[in-house]
Chains A and B, each alone.
Chain A
């Protein structure tokens, strides 16, 4: 079955003032969503990415150049990702649409090119 990468874009500063009860509620929403996908056998993985902007590595004038990035704006980073299995793009989008992340951030859905094609 085709796999899809769900990239979770977010503004990490939005939770600085969240109360304990609010944070628990957010975790519960995510857990319920991930749990539902897992029970349907559709969740293939996921991880949190370290905070910070990351590094962008490219070659300039024959030398490797390393800069911060690609997103230097702290308001928008990829905070983590999930890998889900779905029959089609439509279904992958549908699975993402009730992901709690869409309430405060953006979920970027990308199909992973199968290696054995």
Chain B
């Protein structure tokens, strides 16, 4: 069995059963999958793993659905499709349809993301809760709410071909994938970022959904994740872009990303995904931090700020600008953002970097201490500890570090 087989199968089977049975039976579909997997867990240890485990799971889940429907008095007929084998292309369409259902515009963003992770990505409640650092009950609640909404508002499962305004529906799908990718990327939960990439690939492989915007998001994710192997060192500490060993970047991903970026520019639309993918491509193609095309990157951030104003975009723009205009220019650009970004670790890390470059180690240390307090991963904690030690400002007795 390959890694992730059960997770992927769970997503595919739920999508398939939901298409056949209708969105109001989403919960039944999930139960059938869970039953099939428990059945596998109970019997495979004794009889061995079947030759085609994915097909076994699909068949068992469908049989389970047939059993449940037979026992249910309210339903008269068993959908014929439950007894037929689906083709691989229709399996992909099912997954796309499921994504569109989970990301339906009338569902709240939080619930869209949670529902996608649960039903499309096949993650468990505990796994989602752990990644988002929220209690299991919060995740469970979001799922219950989303499913109730689907039932009560009769939000239908539609295949991409049946949706007239696919562009409008895809907007929220892309936002969810973008969020999923960013969460995975910033928390080093590769399962999330890789799942976002897999789903984006489904979108770009289907003629109906392969819009330039989808290619742009795909490009962004591929180009950024190409750095994965270089982002953490042997000791588990964070390695910033400027210090990364670029020979460890995934060249194949970079060229795939560049191809998607090309396809993304076929329309006349310029979205944040286009701009961010463009920025990622400048980094991916640069031989070093110093030889990076900072002017182009700072420009792109400025355009990005005009279509999508946000303090985080401003912060990134400041880093780019500081590379050719100096750290003082960087500090000027982020002046006044202290309040809005008080809880955003990269803000403090960047301030620390600017102050250190300007020769103010004490001011830098104050910023790095803030960053350390806000660190969400072990890699970040390790990184800021090392920085503070280097600055001679690390005191081990401070409780905030423990």
Q: Contacts A27-B45, A31-B44, A48-B43: A19 and B38 contacting too (C-beta < 8 A)?
A: no
Q: Contacts A21-B4, A27-B49, A34-B45: A15 and B124 contacting too (C-beta < 8 A)?
A: no
Of the candidates B5, B43, B49, B124, which one forms a contact with A22 in the assembled complex, judged by CB atoms under 8 Å apart?
B124
* Alpha-carbon distance A19/B122, docked complex (angstroms): 8
User: Do B48 and A27 have beta carbons less than 8 Å apart?
Assistant: no
Of the candidates B44, B46, B122, which one forms a contact with A47 in the assembled complex, judged by CB atoms under 8 Å apart?
B46
Q: Contacts A20-B10, A24-B5: A31 and B46 contacting too (C-beta < 8 A)?
A: no
CB nearest neighbor in A for B121:
A20
B123 / chain A contacts, CB cutoff of 8 Å: 19-21
Q: Does A80 contact B (CB under 8 A)?
A: yes
In B188-225, the 8 Å CB interface with A consists of none
In B5-60, the 8 Å CB interface with A consists of 5-7, 9-10, 33-34, 37-38, 40-46, 48-49
A46 / chain B contacts, CB cutoff of 8 Å: 45-46
* Alpha-carbon distance A114/B182, docked complex (angstroms): 63
Q: What distance in Å separates the Cβ of B76 from its nearest Cβ neighbour in chain A?
A: 30
Q: Does B125 contact A (CB under 8 A)?
A: yes
Interface size on B, residues (CB 8 A): 26
User: Do A21 and B48 have beta carbons less than 8 Å apart?
Assistant: no
Q: Contacts A18-B124, A48-B42: A28 and B37 contacting too (C-beta < 8 A)?
A: no
User: Do B46 and A20 have beta carbons less than 8 Å apart?
Assistant: no
A20 / chain B contacts, CB cutoff of 8 Å: 6-7, 9-10, 33, 37, 122-124
User: Do A79 and B10 have beta carbons less than 8 Å apart?
Assistant: no
A18 / chain B contacts, CB cutoff of 8 Å: 37-38, 41, 124
Of the candidates A22, A27, A80, which one forms a contact with B40 in the assembled complex, judged by CB atoms under 8 Å apart?
A27
Q: Does B126 contact A (CB under 8 A)?
A: yes
B48 / chain A contacts, CB cutoff of 8 Å: 31, 34
* Alpha-carbon distance A19/B41, docked complex (angstroms): 12
Of the candidates A15, A26, A48, which one forms a contact with B46 in the assembled complex, judged by CB atoms under 8 Å apart?
A48
User: Do A31 and B125 have beta carbons less than 8 Å apart?
Assistant: no
* Alpha-carbon distance A21/B38, docked complex (angstroms): 12
Q: Contacts A17-B124, A18-B124: A23 and B6 contacting too (C-beta < 8 A)?
A: yes
In A10-66, the 8 Å CB interface with B consists of 15-24, 26-28, 30-31, 34, 46-48
B49 / chain A contacts, CB cutoff of 8 Å: 27, 31
User: Do A21 and B127 have beta carbons less than 8 Å apart?
Assistant: yes
The interface centre, meaning the residue of B33, B44, B48, B125 with most chain A CB atoms within 10 A of its CB, is: B44
The interface centre, meaning the residue of B1, B43, B45, B46 with most chain A CB atoms within 10 A of its CB, is: B45
A80 / chain B contacts, CB cutoff of 8 Å: 42, 45-46
A31 / chain B contacts, CB cutoff of 8 Å: 44-45, 48-49
A23 / chain B contacts, CB cutoff of 8 Å: 6, 37-38, 40-41
Residues of chain B at the chain A interface (Cβ within 8 Å): 1, 4-7, 9-10, 33-34, 37-38, 40-46, 48-49, 122-127
Q: What would 9 more interface pairs be, CB under 8 Å, given A20-B124, A80-B42?
A: A15-B41, A19-B122, A19-B123, A21-B4, A21-B7, A21-B127, A24-B5, A27-B40, A34-B46
- Residue contacts A-B, CB under 8 angstroms, 27 given: A15-B41, A16-B34, A16-B38, A17-B125, A17-B126, A18-B37, A19-B7, A19-B125, A20-B7, A20-B33, A20-B122, A21-B7, A21-B122, A21-B123, A21-B127, A23-B6, A23-B38, A24-B1, A24-B6, A27-B40, A28-B1, A30-B44, A34-B48, A46-B45, A48-B42, A48-B45, A82-B46
